[in-house]
Amino acid sequence: MKRTSLSILISAVALSAGLASAPVSAETRAPTEGKGIKAAEPVLVDLGPGLKLRTRVFIVEPGGVIPLHAHKDNPTVAYYYGGPLSEFNADGKAVGQRGGGKAYSDDRTVNHWYENHSKETATVVVSDVVKQ
């Protein structure tokens, strides 16, 4: 009975936070493998000795997962459109949703993963600076 009450409470909090499309579970584990993702060939621009600007396009199908990843060595700017992606931190806690034709940045402290719980395909255009 306690578990059911906890699930109802967690669901109510998620609804009020605007996370209703993301399943809520106290036992959500960060995935280490992706699924339902297509990635275009990256475009690279030489920025000088040892650095390149990299831009990639990811298509995330409904039910798709972008696995746990960190931005320690590659702060990122990403533009999202199409279906929203539910974002989770490394501990599996729901952070929010990304989408709606908006750009977001991820600094060196970000360690997260995404799931597409919508019925729409999500597209993400990601640019970052990488060491080469």
Q: 27: buried, middle or exposed (CB in 10 Å: 19+, 13-18, 0-12)?
A: exposed
- pTM (2 d.p.): 0.75
Predicted confidence at residue 100, as pLDDT, reads: 86
DSSP letter assigned to residue 55: E
Distance separating the N- and C-terminal Cα atoms of the chain = 55
d(CA 118, CA 85): 8
DSSP letter assigned to residue 28: -
What's the pLDDT tens digit per position in 76-125? 999 999 889 999 999 999 999 999 899 999 999 999 999 999 999 999 99
CA nearest neighbour of 98 among 73, 75, 69, 126: 126
